[in-house]
Structure 1
């Protein structure tokens, strides 16, 4: 096996790293202004992050899963805001990819170019107040009427919710249908009966605005159904394959960036007459950080390779999501320990890195869920 990046992959990664530090969202949370969001969002579209895995004929970059992951990893490694990258990844993997793979041709033609360019923002509306990990029990319902469906229910923690133009959402269409009891929809923000709430005040991933979305007899036409009625779980599972692999490349980049900072710090900081780097426990901690990063990276690249080869990626996706998310949390905490009291000073940004890493083991399926999926793939 050749683990080296191709010249094209390396050039693309180097290019995104150069512009990464310009990818930030100052004031976006405090202002809550569509105008501020639009400017930031179009920048993400310009550098290709919003349509990386979408074919060029639909306005995207035409990249596979591995190259898309490398793009997000490079942006994070180069210093792009983690919350903003998370917002872009939620837009692409949880929303744009379901539209690409399951929408009707005319719906794809209408939505995809503007979603890839950053003209439109997509919000991921799956989670409910009483349905987080158990997505098979959605209280939101979709009632069949002439020409479409009426949606009723509440979605919580909707990524990009306060600023989204389109929501990919899921609702129960057959309470007795089991696996085939839910249906996926792409719903316009201006649909009568759709109410987007104010941004939640978060301590992590702050540049990704999240909020509640309510549906009250919200009419969705038939041409905005994703897949066939009853295929909601299929749509969701497919989107999760992309999200649990490519999105977590953000945390590979974060770990690489933190390790680099730690190496610089322990090489300069002195305690007890010698550099921190010369204390064996410090060297051991850094070795563990590198081990976690490289192990997770291999699993994530393998998961993406399986997706690109059109093979069943579920085992590798679950392994990668579990390994990378837990490594991100551990490495951010190790960074805080190595920086000591400085880690709690806002000017160093370490405490923000810890806060941004902490949710990684919760969203896109908790670590417990990933272990269940791994066990199931092992035949248990």
Structure 2
């Protein structure tokens, strides 16, 4: 059994005072299919959105185990499962790949606003014809001068309706397996992007 440090426990228990605000009205919001922007802002104030990110970008610099421990505490205390899923998508499916694989310029541009929740991030890999079978993906990306042009559609994009920034996966070669794909950061106002 893991023995959690006092600092780890304090991070998890630090969510406690916010749970009432997170839980108030969650059934009505769910019935209305509305994104809980006010609750997102409450979570942003807790610092949870920056848990695993480097402090140089405004994150808390926590390791994976601590991040999961605190997110488990959120899931235990916050009854809004959709909000919990949005937070995890924002952190794990978007922010973590950016921190791990993004260029210094992309990190400087986006990670501070991911950490504060100013940007809501989405993950776009599933497609209408292939679902979550990523290797059957049809979305393609091709070079056009110094830029990339993406062509295709995605489905079930976590955080998609409210996202400011998307991690979009596209086929960049005909190589079999996962090495034929690339992840692209796409801002919501990019010409040609339709949500």
Shared fold by TM > 0.5?
yes
Superposition deviation, residue 31 in structure 1: 6.9
Aligned to 2:111: 112
Aligned to 1:173: 172
Counterpart contact for 1:121–1:164, Cα < 8 Å: yes
Aligned to 2:2: 3
Aligned to 2:72: 73
Greater C-alpha radius of gyration:
1
Q: Distance in 2 between matches of 1:93 and 1:79?
A: 18
Alignment of 1:1-380 (within 5 A): 3-24=2-23, 27=29, 30=32, 32=34, 37=37, 39-196=38-195
Counterpart contact for 1:17–1:74, Cα < 8 Å: no
Q: Distance in 2 between matches of 1:148 and 1:164?
A: 22
Q: Distance in 2 between matches of 1:163 and 1:78?
A: 24
* Cα deviation code 1:301-344 (max 9, x no counterpart): xxxxxxxxxxxxxxxxxxxxxxxxxxxxxxxxxxxxxxxxxxxx
Counterpart contact for 2:18–2:42, Cα < 8 Å: no
Over 3 Å counting, the alpha-carbon distance change for 1:29 and 1:91 in structure 2 is farther
Q: Distance in 1 between matches of 2:175 and 2:71?
A: 40
Q: Distance in 2 between matches of 1:195 and 1:49?
A: 30
**What stretches of structure 1 move > 4 A for 4+ residues in a row?**
none
Superposition deviation, residue 178 in structure 1: 3.6
Superposition deviation, residue 177 in structure 1: 4.8
Q: Structure 2 length normalisation: TM-score?
A: 0.90
Superposition deviation, residue 129 in structure 1: 1.3
Superposition deviation, residue 74 in structure 1: 1.4
Q: Distance in 2 between matches of 1:172 and 1:187?
A: 15
Superposition deviation, residue 156 in structure 1: 0.4
Superposition deviation, residue 101 in structure 1: 0.9
Question: Cα RMSD over matched residues?
Answer: 2.0
Q: Distance in 1 between matches of 2:31 and 2:53?
A: 28
Q: Distance in 2 between matches of 1:21 and 1:80?
A: 10
Counterpart contact for 1:20–1:76, Cα < 8 Å: no
Question: Can you give the 5+ residue segments of structure 2 that lack an aligned partner in the other structure?
Answer: none
Aligned to 1:232: none
Superposition deviation, residue 169 in structure 1: 0.9
Question: Can you give the 5+ residue segments of structure 1 that lack an aligned partner in the other structure?
Answer: 197-380
Q: Distance in 1 between matches of 2:39 and 2:89?
A: 15
